[in-house]
Structure 1
Amino acid sequence: MSHLKRAREVFDVELAAVKAVKGRLNATFNRAVELITYALAKRNKLVVVGVGKSGNIGRKIAATFTSTGAPAVLLDSVDALHGDLGILNDGDIVLALSYSGETDELIDLLPAMKRFAVRVIAITSGPKSTLGQHADVVLNVKVPKEACPFNMAPTASTTASLVMGDALAMAVLDARGFKKSDFAQRHPSGAIGRSLLLSVGDIMRSGSRNPIAPQTMPVRDALLIMGKAKSGSVSVVNKSGKLAGVFTDGDLRRHLAKDDAVLDQPLAKVMTRRPTTIREDALAADAIRIFNERSIDDLIVVNTRREPVGLVDSQDLPKLKAV
């Protein structure tokens, strides 16, 4: 039995839900971004509150904000009523998630939270709900229906809330001028951190492992250089030592299929001109992006004078734990 039909129906329902929420975005979203950005500039934080499935979504939203340089915490509604409300400071922003806007545990918190000089941003489907009426800004995430066949289990609604949270986090990121280098500082470990902290110069092959040949060299001799370097390509340079092209084992196969005399041809006649390159001071993350965007196995590293100084082999990236 195939379950693909049902799976596709769920995708359709949730995509339609996100599209509906996107269509309602207006100036209130800008206001929410401004409130969060202002609070963060004053060294305040974002306190995310939710119960049940909304709490689970809130945890992810808080984590996204924190990882992008915006201090955020998840506050358990029940614990908050028994002392944890002390985490709030005047000037903080409360991001409250409740699809109905009538979640008892959350509503019970509102009077206590309002005693602090905090602003409340609500992610809810009910602008006129109790939560909506107590919020400074309401972000409406009402969806046409849930993906659940009984229209009961939170599915499309939780997806819409998560996307709204992601949209907020990314808009705040832009507003604060958060840079890739800032992201790297907060991710010192794992593939993300390594790719952002390492430069191309740190991961490239150089010296004897960086095969270079003049464009006048016959293919036969260039293959020996490639073999010695254990590389699938060779950087081809002109008489000034600047990069003129690249010759790969793929080029060899294509030319051999047409003419087996290619081995005696100079590289200038069979090389690929204008190869993809990268600077040695670029981030490893930039190299990874190029590999993902283009169908290449090797990436030539050049200096400011367009001289090939290294080679990044895609097969090296997993060993370096950069992907």
Structure 2
Amino acid sequence: MRTGGDIAAVTDVTFDVRPGECLALIGESGCGKSVLASALLGLLPANARTVGQALLAGPEGGLGDGLDLLAADERTLARTVRGRRIGLVPQSPAAHLTPVRTVRSQLHETLRELTGVRKAGAGKPGSRKTGLREAGEAAAARAAFPADHLDRHPHELSGGLAQRAATALALVGDAPLLLADEPTTGLDRDLVDRTADELRLHADSGHALLMITHDLAAAERIADRVAVMYAGRIVEIADATTFFGTRGPRHPYARGLLDALPERAFTPIPGMPPELGDLPPGCAFAARCPKATDACGAVPSPADGVACHHPEEDPTCSN
């Protein structure tokens, strides 16, 4: 909804991410995926406003600690959430790396702040230094970051190497929830698969993973469930096996995303997504949808994981 000069970048979004699970959030550029991740970490611009709840699981895996990320103050987010309970692989890694420090020193500083290595090694400088070095190199290896580049500064890295450095920094704290915002950008296919597999291992160790991605092959490779976002709303949430399998998704937009892949029909979705500041009434996808009818003049309510007036009913049928 737009009120005066306000733009609703994300609207009526409801989902959960469970320990040991990877939820892939997919959709075209500008649909609100990265805004959602920024909201969870309190990284929105100062003039942004949020409503609703984003509950972070407590130490025992439940919601008993009552921490609402959208209501938490900056001190709480900075000291107890970012890096410690939620790790972030940023969409623009170069903007998140400290330009005057090497990758190694940034890994060591992150370890000191997040894992208490400084305290654990008090009085044993040699042991502390060795522990930092080994832990930093292990995180770099997990992110496929070459050890002989650890002493380089961010400006000496290619875009793909900067992406891997940011991934290493996100993994080093072993946070219970990892938000990976386009973690495979700038990587070749082999490194995409290796990075995706490492993120999957992070989830398999009992952590929760929210992966925001345009790369449907990476999502298919590691996701347990898929959430599809369009024009600021989640229009479908489905089991990944069903979504990418012969049954396919039920929302026409989600089917269009798959049909646009080169290995499938290679048929683009007609038209362009609407601007979030100028959404049409009713279903925002109606103007591009082959199934649109007069009923689409109203915003569809989610039912059985899909928000559509005309969802695909026959699971074996494809557009």
Scaled to the shorter chain, the TM-score interval is under 0.3
Q: Which structure would you say has the larger RCO, counting Cα contacts within 8 Å and 6 or more residues apart?
A: 2
Structure ranking higher in helix proportion: 1
TM (normalized to structure 2)?
0.26
